[in-house]
Amino acid sequence: MRKANIKKDERLLDPMDNKSVVDRIIARITNAIINGELLPGQKIPTESELCESMHVGRNSVREAIKVLVAMGVLIIKRAEGTFVAEGFSDRMLDPMVYGLILEGGNTKYLIEFRRMLEVGVLNLAIQNATEEDIEKLKQSFDRFCNTVRNNSSIEEILDADIEFHRTLEKSVHNPLVEKICNVVERLSRETRARATEQFITKEELDRICELHERIINVLINRDEAAVLGVIDDHYQYWKDEIK
Amino acid sequence: MRKANIKKDERLLDPMDNKSVVDRIIARITNAIINGELLPGQKIPTESELCESMHVGRNSVREAIKVLVAMGVLIIKRAEGTFVAEGFSDRMLDPMVYGLILEGGNTKYLIEFRRMLEVGVLNLAIQNATEEDIEKLKQSFDRFCNTVRNNSSIEEILDADIEFHRTLEKSVHNPLVEKICNVVERLSRETRARATEQFITKEELDRICELHERIINVLINRDEAAVLGVIDDHYQYWKDEIK
DNA sequence: GATAATTTGTTCGTATGTATC
DNA sequence: CGATACATACGAACAAATTAT
């Protein structure tokens, strides 16, 4: 009956007036988490208890919990209980993955975003990386070069490349940034595999090793001014893949 | 019986061997979307049909659909059917929101990420913005200055600021970047509100107008070298809010 | 080690609300 | 208005997994 007609886009947590029973349960649980009633790692009431306390059916409770589990907010341990997750979860970025797929496989936007992320990561690494981080990065670089010069398959080279970038991202010391980079890398892997097939000549492989070395040098010298140029050169290869 | 024992971390879509009935249904639907069997905007089979074709209970189908709806992958039109979403949905980033909350309200990571995004946005805008975009941004800047100098409330100033940044982000012409910035802005709004209360003196307000103007100038002059400095200055204010 | 209790997983049946024709 | 199709919601029952006794 009541038309509500709230402002409009003030969603994003706190549905509150969503008539759906399931949504109300979701809101109730998430609010409890936000308010600190439910702390990370803590056990939430059993399904039956939630049914009773909220006067709703068990199936509705289950649907609500399932949603939160899929989002990575709750973790179910069967026959033991349901618990609030602690910190980030991989699956929190899954919906973004679906979004990219539904966006029509437009890899252009993804590649552009990835480039943006890499620039940001290098900038942040310049600020936050420790000497130990840099040491690890050097080791990662050596492994990458060995892989490249060892006549490895594209898959292996790509893995080594990703490992290098992961190490770099770790040196930022920001789990949020790390998780997002993670997903973007996995998503753009196929595109990169196709792009990588093109510069399989020895000279190009040498050159890409050199580019990685330049990244390390920029980091060591904390040379912010050089960041954009390095990443741009690094991207020049598969830039043409953008259709 | 069969233990499968897949490689390892090859999750991220394609669970496939998850014993859970609900997860299998989710996998089936998402795979159909990825393979192109189900196209964006298309209607998926009814709950009953899915029950029958997969030999599972109706509740399991409902739980699976609920999950995908919560992720923004499916859209239910009551009494009409359930449809595959087209493109991004705001709720695809909700899980990230929860992730930040569970990460212990550590706003440091969020602010750092936001700063990274702004640098990236400005860089991309320099590459992609049209003259028309810049014109719109100037208008947005004027509105912002008027709001600031009109003795407005913090809320109003913040809204005007966000509007300015939204305009800037639009000029990047990348929906993925736009969506992510969107969410990050909404998330960091509270933190910024607290920070903004501190520099309420007239001189500071003038200065923040000037900073916005500098952003525009950097864009007009396509001055990539100045990007980092501008954003850093822009952040100097609420940098101390990082605890 | 075996049994019982607890808790989640799955299914079925049924009734209700809501939109379309 | 009625008929139909579909989603929403509840309740009951049994299966499976884990823990505690």
Would the Cβ of A48 be found within 7 angstroms of any atom in strand C? yes
Would the Cβ of A51 be found within 7 angstroms of any atom in strand D? yes
Instruction: Choose among B151, B162, B169, B232: nearest CA to B193.
Output: B162
- Give pLDDT, residue B242: 41
Q: How far is A202 from chain B (nearest CA, A)?
A: 31
Closest CA in chain A for residue B96: A92
Per the DSSP assignment, residues forming a β-bridge with B76 are B82
Q: How far is A71 from chain B (nearest CA, A)?
A: 5
Name the CATH code of domain A21-87 (choices 3.10.180.10, 3.40.50.720, 1.10.10.10, 3.40.50.10380): 1.10.10.10
Would the Cβ of B57 be found within 7 angstroms of any atom in strand C? yes
Residue A62 CA, nucleotide D13 C1', distance (Å): 17
| Residue of A29, A59, A96 to mutate when probing chain B, most B C-beta within 10 A | A96
| Residue A75 backbone phi and psi in degrees, to 5 | -130, 125
Going from N- to C-terminal start, the domains of chain B cover 21-87, 92-242
- Give pLDDT, residue B206: 80
Which among A95, A100, A120 has CB closest to B95?
Answer: A95
* CATH level 2 (architecture), domain B92-242: Up-down Bundle (1.20)
Q: Is the pLDDT of residue A238 over 70?
A: no
**What tens-digit pLDDT sequence spans chain B (243 residues)?**
333 333 333 444 444 455 688 888 888 888 888 878 888 888 888 888 888 888 888 888 888 988 898 888 898 887 788 888 887 777 787 788 788 778 765 678 888 899 999 999 999 999 999 999 999 999 999 998 888 888 777 778 888 888 999 999 999 999 888 888 887 887 777 667 766 666 566 777 788 888 899 999 999 999 888 888 888 877 765 544 443
What percent of chain A shows pLDDT beyond 70?
Answer: 83
As a whole number of angstroms, the distance between CA A173 and CA A178 comes to: 8
Would the Cβ of B20 be found within 7 angstroms of any atom in strand C? yes
B30-64 confidence digits (pLDDT tens) = 888 887 888 888 888 888 888 888 888 888 888 89
| Residue A82 backbone phi and psi in degrees, to 5 | -120, 135
As a whole number of angstroms, the distance between CA A156 and CA A4 comes to: 57
- Give pLDDT, residue B125: 95
Measured CA to C1', the nucleotide nearest A57 is D10
- Give pLDDT, residue B18: 52
The B residues from 110 to 169 touching A (CB cutoff 8 Å) are: 110, 112-113, 116-117, 119-121, 123-124
Please indicate if any CB of chain B lies within 8 Å of the CB of A95: yes
Nearest protein residue to D10's C1' (by CA)? A57
Cβ-proximal residues to B27 (8 Å cutoff; 6+ apart), any chain: B14, B15, B16, B18
As a whole number of angstroms, the distance between CA A87 and CA A213 comes to: 34
Residue A76 CA, nucleotide D5 C1', distance (Å): 35
Measured CA to C1', the nucleotide nearest A44 is C7
Q: What is the DSSP string of B116-135?
A: HHHHHHHHHHHHH--HHHHH
Average pLDDT rounded to a whole number, residues A122-141: 94
Which among B26, B109, B175 has CB closest to A175?
Answer: B109
- The helix-helix angle for B107-128 and A175-196 (nearest 10°) equals 40
A142-162 confidence digits (pLDDT tens) = 998 888 888 777 788 888 888
A80-121 confidence digits (pLDDT tens) = 889 999 888 878 878 887 887 787 656 788 888 999 999 999
The B residues from 2 to 61 touching A (CB cutoff 8 Å) are: 11-13, 22, 26, 30, 33-34, 40, 59
Would the Cβ of A77 be found within 7 angstroms of any atom in strand D? yes
Instruction: List protein-proximal bases of chain C (any atom < 7 A from a CB).
Output: 5-14, 17-20
CA dist A54 to A43, A49, A237, B66, B151, Å?
Answer: 17, 8, 58, 20, 46
- Give pLDDT, residue B127: 92
Average pLDDT rounded to a whole number, residues A195-220: 79
Q: Indicate the pLDDT class of residue A129, thresholds 50, 70 and 90.
A: very high
Measured CA to C1', the nucleotide nearest A62 is C8
Q: How many CB atoms lie within 10 A of CB B71?
A: 26
Which among A67, A99, A103 has CB closest to B67?
Answer: A67
Residue A55 CA, nucleotide D11 C1', distance (Å): 13
Burial grade of A159 (CB within 10 A; 0-12, 13-18, 19 or more): middle
Please indicate if any CB of chain B lies within 8 Å of the CB of A180: yes
Instruction: List protein-proximal bases of chain D (any atom < 7 A from a CB).
Output: 5-13, 16-19
| Residue of A12, A68, A102 to mutate when probing chain B, most B C-beta within 10 A | A102
Please indicate if any CB of chain B lies within 8 Å of the CB of A205: no
Interchain pair A86, B102: CB under 8 A: yes
Q: How wide is the angle at C-alpha A146 spanned by C-alphas A141 and A150, nearest 5°?
A: 150
Please indicate if any CB of chain B lies within 8 Å of the CB of A99: yes
Q: How far is B173 from chain A (nearest CA, A)?
A: 9
